[in-house]
Amino acid sequence: MTTTIHAPLEAIRSADWQPICAYADLTPERGCAALVGSLQIALFRTFDGSVFAISNQDPFTGAYVLSRGIVGTRNDVPTVASPLHKQVFNLATGACLDDAGVAVTTYPVRLSDGVVQVLAA
């Protein structure tokens, strides 16, 4: 299985990657939340093994719950649906697919020695 890392190259070169958990701790097609400083980050492992990191806060309600949404695809784009009012977000870009103009922050994420790391300022 290959792990695709979704991060711009210039970011990967810089330091400051935060180790989060073992890759094996991530349930396939499910999210989990991580606390990085005071930031809440939602991590997702999709069916093909990729890992994505976005903000855990649902921009529609303010609640920190996106990690608990259902993971899936829309037109082959990997997605998560907010567990509160079901708006769907593109995991790779953070864009809300049901409300143009709304987006959540995405964070670069990579795998190093079996450990998932994110780059969050």
Q: Closer CB to other proteins, residue 12 or residue 63?
A: 63
Site string for other proteins, 36-65 (x = CB under 8 A): x-x-x--x--xx---------xxxxxxxxx
Cα dihedral 25/76/39/1 (nearest 10): 30
Q: How far apart are CA 5 and CA 64, in angstroms?
A: 24
| Residue 100 touches other proteins, criterion: CB under 8 A | yes
| Residue 76 touches other proteins, criterion: CB under 8 A | yes
CB distance 89 to 67 below 8 Å: no
Token pair, residue 119, equals: 């780059």
- Among 11, 16, 28, 112, contact with other proteins (rule: CB under 8 A): 28
Give residues in contact with other proteins (CB under 8 A).
19-21, 25-30, 32-36, 38, 40, 43, 46-47, 57-65, 68-76, 78-79, 81, 83-88, 97-101, 103
